[in-house]
Amino acid sequence: MFSSKLLISPISEDAATKHDKLLQAIKAMSDIEEVLVGVVKFHPQWHCLLKSVDTRVDKILSALRPQALADHRALLISLGWPPKLISLKNGSDHITSLPNPLILMQEDKRRNYSQSFIALCALQHLQNRREERQLNSNLIKRDTQNIQLWAIDELVSPIASRMECHFTKWSEQPEYMFALAYKVTRDFISGIDDVLQPLIDKARLISCSAKDAWVSAMVQMLSGFLEKKVFRFLTERYKVKHLKPDVSSSWLHLVDLIIAFDKKMQSLLNLDTCFLAVPGSFEGLSRGVSVLSIFCNRPDWLKVWAKIEFKNAWKKLKPELIEEKAWITSKKCISGIDTEQEFLLLTVEDLKAPPIAEFFLKIIWEMIERCQTMPSSLSHAQFIRFTAGRFLWYFFKQLLFRFKATELCIDSSVDVAIVRVCGLINAARYIWIKLQEWSDVADFLEMKIVENDSSKPTQDDTMDNDCFFDEEIRSLSEMETNWLMEIIAVVLRQFEMLSWKYVQNNDSFEDDQDYTNPVEDVDLVVSNDFVEALDALDSWLHTVKISLNKKDFLDLWRSIAEGLDHYISCSIVRSENWFSKMGVYQFEADMQALIFIFQPYCARPQAFFPCINEILKLLKLKKEEVKLMQTFLSNNQNGSECLHLYGIYHLSVNQILQVLRYKIWVG
C-alpha cells in the first residue's frame, strides 16, 4: 500500500479505488502511531528505535500529503472553486452575492469531495497525533489554539490569490480590502458550516469547527497580505522624520479598520451562539482569530504601533491639562455621619475626583480596548505596558508638577491651596480604585501570570503575587499618603501658631478664686487665646470635608485629632502651668470646645483625644488620691496596675508626675 504506484497514479484512475488506498495507508500509519505511543510510555529507553520508525513514517508522509493535497485541489477546480469574485462598485463597499459551488455540487461530485475532505482530515489528525507525541516526549507544550484545517486552507488559498489582485489596487483605500474579505467570509460561511461540519464530525475531529476554521483562515489570509504589502511599507516610511505624521494617521486608520473587522468576524462566529456573547466583554475574538496577530511575531512593529497610540493619546489629553476647570473638584457633599457603606460608592462624583481624572481614564481604557483581540497574551501585555502603562506615569508626573506648583504655606491663601491639593488627592484615589478594578479582570490576571513566567527569576519572592498595575497602584498610594500628610502638617502648624500663647502662657489656669460650684456659679466660655485657633480649625475641616473624598477625609481628621491630642498634652506637660480648681474647669471647657469641632464626623470624638482625657482625670483627682498615686509611682517601678485603676493608659509615669506636680489645691 506504500508503493510508488499510489503516489504516481494518474488522475483518471478510479477515484474510489484511489481513495481506499489512501485510507488504508492512513490506517496503517495510525496503527503504527498507536504502537509508538505505547513504546514511549512503557519503553522510553528505546529512543533509537522510535527515531528510526519516525524517520520512515515521515518519508511516507512527505510524499503522501502533497499528492493528497494535489488531488484535492484538482477536485476543487472541477467543482468550479473558487467562484469568480466581483469587484467593489466604484465609490461603494457593496458587493453582489457570490455563488457557493459547495452548495451547488451534484451528487457524484459531492460524494467524491466528501471522501477527499475526510481523507485530508484523517491525514491531518494523524499528523497532529504524531506531533503531540513527539512534543510530549521532549516536554514541549503544543499550541492548542491552532484551529486550522488543511481542507479549509485549500478552499481559502485560491480565493486569496484572486483577492490579492483587488487588494493591490486598493492600497490607498484599505477599507475596501476589509469589506471584500468580510463579504466573501460571510457569503460562504453558511454553506461551509452546512456542508463541511458534518464531514468533520464524521472524521471524528474533536473540538473542530468548520466555521471557526473558515473565519480563521480568511483572517490569516488578510493578515498575510497586510503584513507583506502594507505594514512593512508603513514601517519603512515611519523612519523618515517628515513622513511620520502622515504614516501615524494611516496607521491609526488601519488599526481602526482592523478592530472593526475583528468584531464583525466575531459576530459571524456568534451567529448561532449569541447567548454566549456578552456585549462589551473584554474577551474579544477567539485566540488566533484576529488580524492583530501581525504584531505578535513582529515586536518592532508592536513598538511602533504603541508609540503612535501613545502620541495620539497625549495629543488628546494635553489641551485638557491646561484647562483649570478640568482640575476643579466638585463641591457636592453628603451631609451626616460618614459610614462604611458610603465608601462603596465609587463614581467620579462620589469620590469628588476632578473631570481630568475621568477623561484621562477614558483615554487609557480606549488604548487598552484597541488591543483586546491580540492573540498572544504576552504581546497583549507588552502593548499595554508601552501605551497605557507609560501614559499612567506621564500623568503621575503632571499630578506631581501641579502639587509642587501649589504652595501649602501658612498664609491667607492656605484654604485655596488645600482645595487644590484635595483635588489632586481625589484624582489619585479615583485612578487607584479603577486600576484595582481593572487588575481583577481575568485578562489582566492572565497577562500578569504570562509576564511572570516569561521574566527572569528575581530575588523578590512577592513578584508573583503582584497585580498587573501593582507598581502604578503603589505609586498612587504613596502620592496620596504624602499629600494627605502635607495637609495635616499645615493644619497642625497653623493651629500650633494660633494656640501657642494659650498653651505656653495662660494665666487663667492659675486663678485661685474659691468657687464651690464653678459650673453653676460661673458661665465658663472658651479662653480668648484659644478661640482663634478653634475657629480656624473648624474652618479648615469644613473646607476639606467639602473638597476631599470620604475615605481620605476620614483618615485626615483622625490624624489631625491624634496630632492635636499629642500636641496639647505634651505642651501642657512641658509648659509648667499651674492649675487651680477653676483652671481645671476652664481647661476642661476649652477641651470640650475642641472635641466638639469633631462632633459632625464621629459619634464619640472624645475617643480620639485619649491623652487630654487622661490629663483631665488627673487634674480632677482629690488631694488624698494624688498623694497616694505619687507615692506609689515613686516607690514602684511598675505602676501600670495603679494607673489602670484610674483609667490611665496613654500617659507615661513622668508625664503623670509632671501634671500632678503643678496642681494647685484651694480650700
- Answer whether residue 337 is part of any domain: no
Q: What are phi and psi of 171, to 5 degrees?
A: -60, -30
CB count within 10 Å of CB 15 equals 16
- Answer whether residue 315 is part of any domain: yes
- Answer whether residue 93 is part of any domain: no
- Answer whether residue 602 is part of any domain: yes
Position 498, amino acid: L
Look at 520 and 348; give whichever has higher pLDDT: 348
Give the pLDDT confidence of 227-279 residue by residue, as tens digits. 999 999 999 999 998 999 999 999 999 999 999 999 999 999 887 654 444 44
The whole-number pLDDT of residue 1 equals 46
Residues 627 and 514 reside in one and the same domain: yes
Q: Nine-digit cell at 261? A: 473587522
The whole-number pLDDT of residue 279 equals 41
Give the pLDDT confidence of 358-400 residue by residue, as tens digits. 999 999 999 999 999 999 999 999 999 999 999 999 999 999 9
CATH number of domain containing 515:
1.20.58
Please enumerate, as own/partner, the contacts of 448-451 that have beta carbons within 8 Å and a separation of 24 or more. Answer: 448/381, 450/377, 450/378, 450/381, 451/378, 451/381
- 192, pLDDT greater than 70: yes
Residues 523 and 649 reside in one and the same domain: yes
The whole-number pLDDT of residue 378 equals 94
- Answer whether residue 5 is part of any domain: no
- 436, pLDDT greater than 50: yes
Residues 451 and 534 reside in one and the same domain: no
Residues 130 and 158 reside in one and the same domain: no
- 45, pLDDT greater than 70: yes
The whole-number pLDDT of residue 480 equals 96
If one counts the domains in the chain, the total is: 4
Residues 130 and 209 reside in one and the same domain: no
Residues 16 and 122 reside in one and the same domain: yes
Give the pLDDT confidence of 137-165 residue by residue, as tens digits. 665 555 555 568 999 999 999 999 999 99
Range of the domain at 251: 153-270+286-295
The whole-number pLDDT of residue 410 equals 64
The whole-number pLDDT of residue 87 equals 46
The whole-number pLDDT of residue 630 equals 78
Share of the chain above pLDDT 90, in %: 57
**This model's pTM is above 0.85:** no
CB count within 10 Å of CB 97 equals 8
Residues 128 and 160 reside in one and the same domain: no
Look at 465 and 2; give whichever has higher pLDDT: 465
Provide the pLDDT confidence category of residue 440 given band limits of 50, 70 and 90. very high
Sequence-distant (6+) residues with CB within 8 A of 113 are: 75, 76, 79, 102, 105
Average pLDDT of span 336-348: 49
Report how far residue 223's alpha carbon sits from residue 219's, in angstroms, rounded to the nearest whole number: 6
Average pLDDT taken over every residue of the chain: 84
Residues in the chain: 667
Give the H or E element holding residue 293. none
Q: What are phi and psi of 521, to 5 degrees?
A: -80, -25
Residues 314 and 291 reside in one and the same domain: no
- Answer whether residue 6 is part of any domain: no
Classify burial at 475, counting beta carbons within 10 Å of its beta carbon; exposed 0-12, middle 13-18, buried 19 or more: middle
102-106, 190-194, 356-360, 653-657: which has the highest mean pLDDT?
A: 356-360
Residues 516 and 648 reside in one and the same domain: yes
Average pLDDT of span 284-294: 72
Given a contact cutoff of 8 angstroms between Cβ atoms, the answer to whether 443 and 283 are in contact is yes
The whole-number pLDDT of residue 5 equals 47
Position 489, amino acid: A
- Answer whether residue 317 is part of any domain: yes
Residues 616 and 536 reside in one and the same domain: yes
- Answer whether residue 110 is part of any domain: yes
